[in-house]
Amino acid sequence: MFDRRKFIKSSALTASLLAIDKTGIASVLPKAPTSADSVKPLVISTWDFGIAANHAAWDVLSAGGRSLDAVEKGVQVPEADPKNQSVGYGGMPDRDGKVTLDACIMDEDGNCGSVAALEHIMHPISVARMVMEKTPHVMLVGDGALQFALENGFQKINLLTPESEKAWKEWLKTAKYQPVMNIENKLYDKAAPTHLPGNQYNHDTIGMLALDAKGNLSGACTTSGMAFKLHGRVGDSPIIGAGLYIDNEVGGATSTGVGEEVIRNVGSFLVVELMRQGYPPEEACKEAVMRIIKRKPAKAKEIQVGFLALNKKGQYGAYAIQKGFSFAVCNEENKSLLIPAKSYY
Ligand code: ASP
């Protein structure tokens, strides 16, 4: 476990690390890059499908673009992929057969936008960005979010693919709501398909964090949520502070897994606040996972939650309850790294 005392002792508490806020309380902050530092752009995201998403984000970052544009472009890739049954088009429906999407986005100035339980729109992330940029609000849900999207030129489409419809009809035979724990391990079994039939492979999210050449951080998070959820259920992914949080002074965090547990612990905000206190990204993610486990040890055995974090210095890390969570990293040196996260079990 990360020993904060040791960290503080061993870190030379130079003036650049010790910040005194307005209340006079000292806090340890990661050293933010100065204009003299050369900032290397970087993008990280959840799961194996993050690799292709990172490539799209990298096109923006490597051209000197803004991290906000990078994360929007990046997560649009799995949103549009019908083979990805946990994000966007082709996502698993709720128990009424409706595909309802959750997404949010946050920029370097703390601006954020979000949509929840949005139907019929291929790119909920872009609607979330429009909520952020064109309205005085942070979050629009359900019919109101759809109305806003249509009024702003988004196309109405059918998100339910024949494959996801088939999986839903199969599920209806038993109609048992049971998020399948740790199914992600199968991703490491070369014989198993990456995307399994719906009754087995029933939740995941793309959460993406990017640092651009100017040293600014942004993040995006988008999902179809838990397969066969109650109609109207909203997970952690569109909730600022739960599924995603960015503080441009410190870092960013995002989550995947059973959203109810992440919401209860305001997971991504917690990870960022721990990094503010000096925790390295992986240790911050671990501490947030431990918070979930300590609160509900019996439940935690059966579910997966994973956190991913990036700090202002470009250091990143992840941690999950169960084995099997992986994250993708893309930078100048390596465009397609897939790293298995450490886990409690
Ligand atoms: N966090 C998502 C939700 O609860 C699902 C996932 O990432 O596995 O909707």
Shortest-distance atom of ligand 1 to CA 233: 9
**Residue 187 tokens, joined:** 């991703």
**Residue 272 tokens, joined:** 């960022």
Distance (Å, whole) CA 212 – CA 276: 20
Mean pLDDT by 10 residues, the chain (345 residues): 50 39 40 53 97 98 98 98 95 97 98 98 98 98 98 98 95 86 46 42 89 98 96 98 98 97 98 98 98 94 95 97 96 97 96
* CATH 3.60.20.30 is the classification of domain 43-343: yes
Length of the chain: 345
Residue 290's pLDDT is what? 98
For a ligand 1 pocket test, name from 236, 264, 289, 302 the mutation site with the most ligand atoms within 8 angstroms of its C-beta.
Answer: 236
Residue 38's pLDDT is what? 55
Alpha helix ranges (H) inside 173-246: none
Q: What does the buried/exposed string (b/e) look like for 28-65 if buried means 16 or more CB atoms within 10 Å of the residue's CB?
A: bbbeebeeeeebebbbbbbbbbbbbbbbbbbebbbeeb
Residue 4's pLDDT is what? 52
For a ligand 1 pocket test, name from 183, 226, 303 the mutation site with the most ligand atoms within 8 angstroms of its C-beta.
Answer: 226
Ligand 1 cavity residues, CB under 6 Å: 203-205, 223, 225-226, 235-237, 256-259
The letter for the amino acid at 334 is: N
How many Å lie between the centroid of ligand 1 and the Cα of residue 16?
Answer: 38
Is position 254 annotated as part of the catalytic site?
no
Distance (Å, whole) CA 51 – CA 30: 27
For a ligand 1 pocket test, name from 205, 233, 255, 264 the mutation site with the most ligand atoms within 8 angstroms of its C-beta.
Answer: 205
Going from the C-alpha of 99 to that of each of 87, 227, 230, the distances in angstroms are: 10, 9, 11
Shortest-distance atom of ligand 1 to CA 259: 4
**Residue 244 tokens, joined:** 């995603």
How many Å lie between the centroid of ligand 1 and the Cα of residue 294?
Answer: 20
Q: Sheet containing 217-223: which strands, arranged edge to edge?
A: 139-141, 112-118, 101-106, 217-223, 206-211, 42-46, 326-331, 337-340
Note the pLDDT tens digit of each residue in 231-280.
999 999 999 999 999 999 999 999 999 999 999 999 999 999 999 999 99
Catalytic residue (choose from 205, 222, 223, 254): 205
User: Cβ(108)–Cβ(70) under 8 Å?
Assistant: no
How many Å lie between the centroid of ligand 1 and the Cα of residue 180?
Answer: 12
How many Å lie between the centroid of ligand 1 and the Cα of residue 204?
Answer: 5
Residue 185's pLDDT is what? 43
Shortest-distance atom of ligand 1 to CA 205: 7
Locate the domains of the chain by residue range.
Answer: 43-343
User: Cβ(57)–Cβ(71) under 8 Å?
Assistant: yes
Which residue has a Cα nearest atom 4 of ligand 1? 259
